Amino acid sequence: MIEIVSTEACIACDVCIKVCPTDVFERGDDGIPVIARQSDCQTCFMCEAYCPVDALYVSPISAPAGADSPHTDEDAVVRAGLFGGYRELVGWGRGRTSGALRDRNPLLKAVPPLSESRLPSPATVAGTPWNHPEQAVD
């Protein structure tokens, strides 16, 4: 759930306001978004992923974390390097490695591109463009 907008880092670009599917934010008088309807947050991480300056923190908890939680403590989140953490994880942002390149999900390497019923029998799943190729990670 969205927990923190860093007023220090935010550049008032409005992107998070526009991408939020449930209209959680309001634009403040100073241009900095305000979390106006936290209970409408779907924990989809889209605002954090799109924020160009990593000024947002969405906690992985799907309910308000509470005032005594580190998830609502801006200094703790900074110390843990978690502002924009989801954006970093998926590899969005200049100089980052795409999350698709880092994905090592073994299931995705084995899942055929078509449902079993549409595959010739026996199914051949190796070497198709739908499977993950072995790729070096930086």
Residues that bind ligand SF4 (CB under 6 A): 2, 5, 10-16, 19-22, 24, 33, 41-47, 51, 53, 55-56, 58
C-alpha to C-alpha distance for 40 and 34, rounded to whole angstroms: 13
Q: What are the backbone dihedrals phi and psi of residue 10, each rounded to the nearest 5 degrees, phi first? A: -60, 140
Please state the closest distance from residue 129 (CB atom) to ligand SF4, in A.
32
Instruction: In angstroms, give the least distance from the CB of 72 to ligand SF4.
Output: 14
Minimum CB separation of residue 99 from ligand SF4 in Å reads 17
- Nearest distance, CB of residue 46 and ligand SF4, angstroms: 4
Q: Which residues lie across from 33 on neighbouring strands?
A: 27
Of 12 and 125, which CB lies nearer to ligand SF4 in the complex structure? 12
- Residue closer to ligand SF4 (CB basis): 60 or 113: 60
Residue closer to ligand SF4, measured from CB, 50 or 73: 50
> Of 28 and 112, which has the nearer Cβ to ligand SF4?
28
Contact of 14 with 47, CB cutoff 8 Å: no
> How many whole angstroms separate alpha carbon 81 and alpha carbon 75?
10
Cβ-proximal residues to 129 (8 Å cutoff; 6+ apart), any chain: none
